[in-house]
Structure 1
Amino acid sequence: MPDADTGQGEARLIDHLIELRARLLRAVTGLIIVFVALLPFANKLYAWLAQPLLAKLPAGGQLIATGVASPFFAPVKLAFFTALFVSVPWLLYQAWAFVAPGLYQREKRLALPLLASAVSLFYAGCAFAYFLVLPAVFGFLTKVTPEGVAMMTDIQAYLDFVLVIFLAFGASFELPVALVILVLLGWVTPQQLRESRGYAIVGVFVVAAVITPPDVVSQLMLAIPMCVLYEIGILAARWMTPARK
């Protein structure tokens, strides 16, 4: 009997590894297809991404390329990250399809809303950064530029800066999901979150000061939404706690 059990366990492990390989191949294939489809539009994507800065520069202002190959690699890099951004639902679906058979029905009911909320909040954070934060930041930076200094940014440095901003705001907007998960795990309670509101606000402003550019505008534009999201997280945790019980 032990040998039979061992054989069955090894067979199940092999089946899981085969399933994992298939899901990974599907995820990577989907990402590559989207990336290849976006390559012809790489320059247009970069022009769209550069609009928040170009709109704030004086007439005739433009980005520059200090690297020999930057005009090629910067748009291609942007196309890859755009493909990754667009493919997130497909990638998460493959991960979900792999782990879902091992979950209880109650766990599935909790995981699906959390997963959908996490994706939606990340997209919302990136949209908030592009349409509101970047124009405000670049407007502030162009105004404080010393007289006689031309603000000319390298295209690769600009891309890296914007990607960091997108990641910072997208991750920060996940705060309600993180609070709900902490409550569901039993590590904290909604009451404790309410009582720690003052410490949380201080922590939010510290985090905003660390991960945003060194200007007050971007720090406030991250800290204020995070404070609101903290309250939303408390409400969502209170709503989901009875379901957990």
Structure 2
Amino acid sequence: MSSKSPVEETFISHLVELRNRLVKASIGFAIVCGILFYWPGASHIYDFIAAPMLASLPVGSKLIATGVVSPFLIPMKVTLLLGFIVSLPWVLYQMWAFIAPGLYTHEKRLIAPLVISSSLLFMAGVAFCYFFVFGRVFHFISNFAPSSIAVTPDIENYLDFVMSMCLAFGATFEVPVVVVILVRMGLVSVAKLKEVRPYVIVGAFVIAAIVTPPDVVSQFSLAVPMWLLFELGLLVAPVFVRATQSPEEAS
């Protein structure tokens, strides 16, 4: 006869299930990274990331490595980051599989769209930053460099800048999800959010001024999408709330 109470057994079973899901997520991440490390085109990943910067420099210019081991560590760091992005759907699936058994039917209708939309919006923000913002920002900045200065960015500083910018834009594109969650949880109404719209617009420009370089192009490139995504959240929130109501809430 077991001496453990039902509560203890349930808690331990949840811990075991969590451990199994974490192990499976880690194995998936490790497999993707292993494939990328041995992929012949992996050495060109950083070249792809550096393309917007090189396009704004004079023809024949290259980035420099000031650290002794930077030419080895930086591409490896980029490969690990790409491995995480590629394996993200598998990691999110493990999270979903862990929490799904404890949810009601109407709650499952809430979680799955949020997980999928959050992933897609984050990737959309990163893509928008890379394909639309970087080229304009680097070109704008390079025009201010005097002719007596040779612009040769360091690969490590450049990667840090790219990662911080991509993270900022990826997080910014989550605004519709935040709006939907706030409305769905009943913390604020759509009508109230419409009332504070002017403050949201000002806040978007303040946030853009803080997290982006001190140039008008990048600040507007972040603030305007943030505002438009806020408006998108206001449109989607009522539809999402109706679609995820429980029978008691609907009645």
Is the TM value for this pair above 0.5? yes
In 2, are the aligned partners of 1:175 and 1:230 still within 8 Å (CA)? yes
Whether the 8 Å CA contact 1:42–1:76 is kept in 2: the answer is: no
The within-5 A match list for 1:1-245 is 7-40=5-38, 41-243=41-243, 244=245, 245=249
**Per-residue Cα deviation, 1:79-124 (whole angstroms, up to 9, x for no partner):** 0111111111111110110011001000001111111111110010
Aligned-pair CA distance for 1:6: 5.5
CA 1:103 to 1:84, structure 2 compared with 1: closer, same or farther past 3 Å?
same
TM-score with structure 1 setting the length: 0.96
Q: CA offset at residue 5 of structure 1?
A: 9.9
User: Secondary structure at the residue paired with 1:206?
Assistant: helix
Give the deviation of 1:181 after TM superposition. Answer: 0.2
Determine helix, strand or coil for the equivalent of 1:150. coil
Equivalent residue of 1:187, what SS?
coil
Contact 1:137 1:217 (8 Å CA) reproduced: yes
Matched residues, percent identical?
50
Between the aligned partners of 2:34 and 2:230, the Cα distance in structure 1 is 39
1:42-101 Cα distance to aligned partner (Å, 9 max, x none): 321001111001111101211000000000000000001111111111111101100110
Amino acid at match of 1:33: I
Cα drift, residue 241 of structure 1? 3.0
Alpha-carbon RMSD: 1.5
Change in Cα spacing, 1:114 to 1:5, as seen in structure 2 (3 Å) is farther
Between the aligned partners of 1:190 and 1:52, the Cα distance in structure 2 is 39
How far apart, CA to CA, are the structure 1 residues paired with 2:172 and 2:215?
18
Q: Output one character per residue of 1:18-57: Cα deviation in whole Å (capped at 9) or x when no partner.
A: 1111100000111111111112443210011110011111
In the aligned structure 1, how far is the partner of 2:137 from the partner of 2:72?
A: 27
- The letter of the residue matching 2:84 is L
Higher alpha-carbon deviation: 95-104 or 232-241: 232-241
